[in-house]
Amino acid sequence: MTVPVRSQAASGRLNVCHAGSLTAAFTAIEEAFSKQYPGVALTDTAGGSVDLARRFAAGTLACDVFAPADHLLIDRLLRPAKLADSTIVFASGRMVLAYLATDAKAQRLQVSGTFNPPASIPEAAPGWYDALTAPGVRISGAHPFLDPGGYRSHMIFELAQRHYRAPGLYNALLQHYQVNVADPSNAAAAAVLGKDFNFQITYEHSAAAAARRDPNYRYARLPSAIDLSSARASEYAPTVVTIPGLGTPGSAASVTIEASQVAWGLTIPKNSANPDQAARFVAMVLGAPGAAAFAANGPTSLTPARVSRADLSRLPSPLRSLVAVQ
């Protein structure tokens, strides 16, 4: 159910800033929003979540809704800077290992099971990392200082070393990791799987979408002790990454993010110029339009979404019935 927020005759502006991994789902939600509230001029900005947070904090990007790929970015970056006072965790997922069936370097990877998503997803066999650390192999991903997908890859390297009790594995994997430089102005220049790199650790729903587009695209699941799918935070402790802070006056020079379940978060920033429109949009994310968009595109929606007991009272009142205290 979508809860109306004040008058349906809304007008004004709405700036939605979200992780690139939410693009497909948020496009559908934004279309539903614009249909219901045609008087609101909506601006969408997608990108690496850490990069978006820094641009927002610096005042170069307006955000009325901020939805990062890691809910901890709200807690570790925006809340200490007094830019947010609530965190809603609304979706979860896992990281998978992606490659092309036609890539000769990827054919060394051993998996068990058939590839027939979503009914059947192969499991990477023990020793899967040998294929990733073979000579000439490249693993591509985002920069860990700009995007959770990047630092989650690094976390998985460390978790794999611990899980398999393989000293030096973290370094060996990291030596094959190359940063995939994102250039929104030139999509054609983006690195290509199977041509410019051989493997990628990515979100499962993103991999599933790629597999629907390309019959040669493959992905395999890793053990839950590695793939950041477990809701038990203790399973991944004490693995952490440290990234530069917001870079604004008074903010911490660096912040530490602990390894945890892959989970997307959202917040309405405290300095939002359009809080009513933001609340309307968040109600759609947490309501029926969001549920439909996530079912079709991923990630997996949490129904109801989760907030802390303290944060519940900070939410706009129409949103409180759409969340549960975790």
How confident is the model over 40-91, as pLDDT tens digits? 999 999 999 999 999 999 999 999 999 999 999 999 999 999 999 999 999 9
SS (H, E, C) the chain: CCCCCCCCCCCEEEEEEEEHHHHHHHHHHHHHHHHHCCCEEEEEEEECHHHHHHHHHHCCCCCCEEECCCCHHHHHHHCCCCCCCCCEEEEECCEEEEEECCCHHHHHCCEECCCECCCECCEECCCCHHHHCCCCCCEEECCCCCCHHHHHHHHHHHHHHHHCCCCCHHHHHHCCEEECCCCCCCHHHCCCECCCECEEEEEHHHHHHHHHHCCCEEEEECCCCCCCCCCCHHHCCCCEEEEECCCCCCCCCEEEEECCCCEEEEECCCCCCCHHHHHHHHHHHHCHHHHHHHHHHCCEEEEEEEECHHHHCCCCHHHHHHEEEC
Tokens at 234, concatenated: 């203790």
Give the other-Cβ count within 10 Å of 73's Cβ.
25
Query: What is the distance between the alpha carbons of residues 294 and 23, in angstroms, rounded to a whole number?
Result: 11
Contact 93, 229 (CB under 8 A): yes
Q: What is the pLDDT of residue 326?
A: 85
pLDDT single digits (tens) 14-24: 999 999 999 99
Task: Read off the amino acid at residue 119.
Answer: A
| Global pTM value | 0.94
Q: Which residues pair with 41 in a beta bridge?
A: 13
pLDDT of residue 182: 66
The average pLDDT across 222-246 equals 96
Mean pLDDT of 108-123: 95
Beta bridge partners of 219: 98
Residue of 222, 201, 224 whose CA lies nearest to 127: 222
- Mean pLDDT of the region 117-128: 95
Contacts of 258 (CB under 8 A, 6+ apart): 72, 233, 236, 237, 238, 239, 240
Considering Cα of 300, then 306, then 307, then 308, what sign does the dihedral take? negative
Rounded-to-integer distance, Cα 44 and Cα 83, Å: 19
Average pLDDT across the chain, whole number: 94
Q: Is the distance from CB of 155 to CB of 141 less than 8 angstroms?
A: no
pLDDT at 189 over 90: no
Rounded mean pLDDT of 246-255? 94
Please report the pLDDT score of residue 2 as a whole number: 40
* Per-residue model confidence (pLDDT) at position 233: 85
Write down all domains in the chain, each with its CATH number in brackets.
12-92+262-325 (3.40.190.10), 95-228 (3.40.190.10)
| pLDDT reading at 147 higher than 50 | yes
Residue 42, Cβ density class (10 Å: 0-12 exposed, 13-18 middle, ≥19 buried): middle
Q: What angle do CA 313, 314, 317 make, to 5 degrees?
A: 70
pLDDT-derived band at 95 (thresholds 50, 70, 90) equals very high
Q: Is 56 exposed, middle or buried (0-12, 13-18, 19+ CB in 10 A)?
A: buried
